[in-house]
Amino acid sequence: MSTITARLVARFDRWLDRVVADDDRFICAACDDRFRSRSVGIEHVLRCHPEYQGVVVYEGAANPKPVAVPASMRRPLAAGLSPAPVRVVVPAGR
């Protein structure tokens, strides 16, 4: 093995040892950020990764509570009204 290859392999081994070393921090699966506390990690996910807001963290929770489903932003229809399909007429030449 050449000297350069040996040095690269040694650096890779040291890097891999750091990556797989015992680490009690919480890791964000989306971006690999690490946090000392679970609450800070959850806050990070909710702030930086809104696509995961519906995910519930169950690990270690005695009585897991589901995330509340957001209420619809649409106002209900007034009494007596019902939704109806809208028909769009497109001229034949288009």
Residue 41 in domain:
yes
Residue 46 in domain:
yes
When divided into structural domains, the chain yields a total of 1
Residue 1 in domain:
no
Give the pLDDT confidence score for residue 59 in this predicted structure. Answer: 56
Domain housing 40: 23-60
Residue 87 in domain:
no
Residue 90 in domain:
no
Residue 52 in domain:
yes
Give the pLDDT confidence score for residue 58 in this predicted structure. Answer: 54
From residue 6, how far is each of 14, 17, 34, 56 by CA, in Å? 12, 16, 31, 45
Give the pLDDT confidence score for residue 94 in this predicted structure. Answer: 61
Stretch 9-16: mean pLDDT: 85
Are 30 and 52 within 8 A, CB to CB?
A: yes
Task: Render pLDDT for 67-85 as a digit per residue (tens, 0 to 9).
Answer: 666 666 667 667 777 777 7
Q: Identify which has the larger pLDDT, 59 or 88.
A: 88
Give the pLDDT confidence score for residue 42 in this predicted structure. Answer: 82
Task: Render pLDDT for 21-59 as a digit per residue (tens, 0 to 9).
Answer: 666 777 887 887 888 888 888 888 888 887 877 665 555
Residue 14 in domain:
no
Residue 9 in domain:
no
Give the pLDDT confidence score for residue 63 in this predicted structure. Answer: 65
